Amino acid sequence: MHLAGADPGKRMVGGSVPDRLFTPEVARPNWVRGHRAGPASWGGASFRGGAVPSPRGLLQSLRWAALMAVLILPGLPAGAPPAVPAVRFTVFAPQPLAGLAYRPAAGAAWEEVKFYPTARSPRYEYRGAMPLRFIDRGSQAVVAEATVPAGLREALLLFIPHEAAAGGAGRPRFQVAVLDDGAARHGAGGLAIVNLSGLALSGTVNSKAVELTSGLNPPLPVGRSAKIVLTTVFKQRTYTSYSATIGLGRNERALVILFPPFNKGSLEVQPRLLVDEPPGAGRTPKK
């Protein structure tokens, strides 16, 4: 056995270690310089005062140190950047869009996203910094941006066209509303309503009275069916803006999106009904 710094011409006999191995003095550990803290044990080699462990005990100690390094160091990778969590998302628009694409990760090839007329798109995955950008494949121009909040892992992205009067050169063509679409928030047998109509709507869902706020409203448990009646008040008169009965299969959920009336001056909203199973159910959305 040869240790760095030892005289290669001398062999260790009877378990003693040449004192010159620890020269200069600063290279000698405390337990070799004869500290009097009392008995100690490391790797099965016990010693007291200035007694020096045998080569076998020293070897065991080194093995213990190597084992601890193997166990501890992998959990603390030096300088390794934290993993970027993936965001899974679907897309939807009042009218199906074509030719839009995004990068699943930095440096990845552009991937086209598909819009369905009456359902969420297939689920896509994104890893990277926000915002998530979408381009037009023809012009390569950025037409939409979405910022998914930290901690949100399942999102529905609603693409809403900018009004022509509000648009401008260099401005994205679409606003994107980011909705929490996870099963924990909106599970099977639930109904959620997104009010983008610009109207103050209230009414009933089955026998429960509701008053909608703008944007995404809390899901309501409805089981296998929901009768929805929503009204609005105009010039002290009440008008029906939306009425429908929705049937759901086992493990299905429903999302009703209410867009502004198609005709100016009308109080009848444009509804879109999306029925699917919550993420993780392993089934594609209904088209």
Q: What is the pLDDT of residues 23-46, one digit of tens each?
A: 344 444 444 444 444 444 333 444
Q: What is the pLDDT of residue 280?
A: 76
Q: What is the pLDDT of residue 285?
A: 52
Mean pLDDT of 111-139: 96
Q: What is the pLDDT of residue 137?
A: 94
Mean pLDDT of the chain: 79
CA distance 209 to 253: 20
Banded pLDDT at 54 (limits 50, 70, 90) = low
- Going by C-alpha positions, the residue among 162, 129, 159 that lies closest to residue 147 is 129
Q: What is the pLDDT of residue 79?
A: 58
> What percent of the chain stands above pLDDT 70?
65
Give all domains of the chain, ordered by start, each with its CATH number. Answer: 22-75 (no CATH), 84-181 (2.60.40), 187-282 (2.60.40)
- Going by C-alpha positions, the residue among 194, 219, 189, 220 that lies closest to residue 207 is 220
- Statement: residue 48 has pLDDT above 80: no
Burial of 230 (0-12, 13-18, 19+ CB in 10 A): buried
Q: What is the pLDDT of residue 19?
A: 45
Asked if residue 138 lies in contact with residue 99, where contact means CB atoms within 8 angstroms, the answer is yes
Please report, to the nearest 10 degrees, the dihedral formed by the alpha carbons of residues 177, 180, 186, 187 taken in order.
Answer: 130
Contacts (Cβ under 8 Å, ≥6 apart) of 73? none
Q: What is the pLDDT of residue 172?
A: 78
Banded pLDDT at 123 (limits 50, 70, 90) = very high
Q: What is the pLDDT of residues 65-96, one digit of tens each?
A: 544 444 444 444 555 556 678 999 999 999 99
- Statement: residue 243 has pLDDT above 80: yes
Q: What is the pLDDT of residue 270?
A: 96
Please name the helix (run of DSSP H) or strand (run of DSSP E) that holds residue 58, with its range, or none.
helix 55-72
Burial of 115 (0-12, 13-18, 19+ CB in 10 A): middle
Q: What is the pLDDT of residues 198-224, one digit of tens each?
A: 999 999 999 999 999 999 999 999 999
Q: What is the pTM of this model?
A: 0.68
Tell how strand 154-161 and strand 174-180 pair up. antiparallel
- Statement: residue 12 has pLDDT above 90: no
Q: 175 or 37: whose pLDDT is higher? A: 175
Q: Say how many C-beta atoms besides its own lie within 10 A of residue 91's C-beta.
A: 26
Banded pLDDT at 56 (limits 50, 70, 90) = low
Q: What is the pLDDT of residue 162?
A: 79
Q: What is the pLDDT of residue 282?
A: 55
Q: What is the pLDDT of residues 149-165, one digit of tens each?
A: 999 999 999 999 876 44
- Statement: residue 283 has pLDDT above 70: no
CA distance 182 to 21: 64
